[in-house]
Amino acid sequence: MSAQPTSSAAVTAIPAGVFCAQDYEVLARKLLPAPTLAYLAGGAGRDITLRANRLALREWSIWPRLLRDVTGGHTRVALGGTPFTHPLLLAPVAFQTLAHPRGELETARAAAATDTCLVASTLSTHRLEDIAAAAGPLRWFQLYMQPTREATLGLVRRAEQAGYAALVLTLDTSIQPPSHRALRAGFRMPADCVAANLSAAVGPSGESAPASRIFQGLMRDAPGWDDVAWLRTETRLPIWIKGVLHPTDAARLQQAGAAGLVVSNHGGRSLDGAPASLHALPAIRARVGTDFPLLFDGGIRCGEDVFKAVALGADAVLIGRLQVYALAVAGALGVAHMLKLLREELEACMALAGCATLADIGPGALLAQPAAAMPAHWQDEPSDGRTDADLD
């Protein structure tokens, strides 16, 4: 069942019908096998949080402003002292050969071509060293704590040696509930789609069955605060923490020495029923202060979405599903083109809102839009899996 909607040959032209970044989602839904699409597009459980992420972005309108001089405008931002030409990062997305035969290697090429920071997943289908060789200088490594510290440290040392500039420690998916959508579609991970950076897992031997499959089973190896402290002593790389939604956790992680935080609910793939990332963002920004780096992850589909996230407290955003949709449609060229479109959409939005720089974007640039004022088809994702763009 390995999904390979594009050929192994490089795509050399922008596909017809792509006029905005979200058009890649529309095309990918036509190309990907239905079970694979259900897995990639779905969240956890009933997709409550997945839908909440998109709806939260629609709860805000952007105030247009007049007679503002934006001729010196730009999208530059500094994260942890490192300059970025734009606030778009490619999120860590696992098992990308589901979307393209070359998976993460194509995504890395796109990152290099667009001066984009690539965050490579622990669960990549290519070795982190090979991804690093294809990516540009802006590359981070997303880390899942392994069952043993020795195994975790092995990944860290490989990331250091491969030239990754930061670690993104993900803490919110010790348990990843299954997607009802993917289960109903009959999705099974193809045998040739494996995590290339991990050795085969070895299960416990001679142990009695846990009293609870969840508490004493799946959560047995979940990381704790001591693991975060230990990791800081073992690496020279800055450590970002991904999966933060509660202001108290954010403050404690800031005090524990995190380089920055990623406000994220794992794209709706963790606790189904968790708040939308955008709803959590303002309170976390208020708690950690104005100067502490925050990234946003959750539902970005257009430049206006990026603007809204920045207005509510983010310094930059992670692009997840849209990355994979573009990869499925046109490989490296598709991902690079999608990023170009997103950046131009953001620039157009900034210009019309009178914001010459990202620093000019704040809460005052937004106007709350009650749900009752939204078009009816915006209230939820269509049950047949189509997007807003399909319905317009």
Active site residues: 266
Q: What residues form DSSP beta bridges with 260?
A: 240
- Integer Cα distance of 328 and 163 in angstroms: 27
Classify burial at 91, counting beta carbons within 10 Å of its beta carbon; exposed 0-12, middle 13-18, buried 19 or more.
buried
- Integer Cα distance of 332 and 248 in angstroms: 39
Residue 243 φ/ψ, nearest 5 degrees: 105, 20
Give the rounded distance of the alpha carbon of 102 from its chain centre: 20
C-beta of residue 62 within 8 angstroms of C-beta of residue 140: no
C-beta of residue 14 within 8 angstroms of C-beta of residue 333: yes
C-beta of residue 87 within 8 angstroms of C-beta of residue 345: no
Choose among 390, 386, 339: nearest CA to 106.
339
Choose among 255, 226, 205: nearest CA to 149.
226
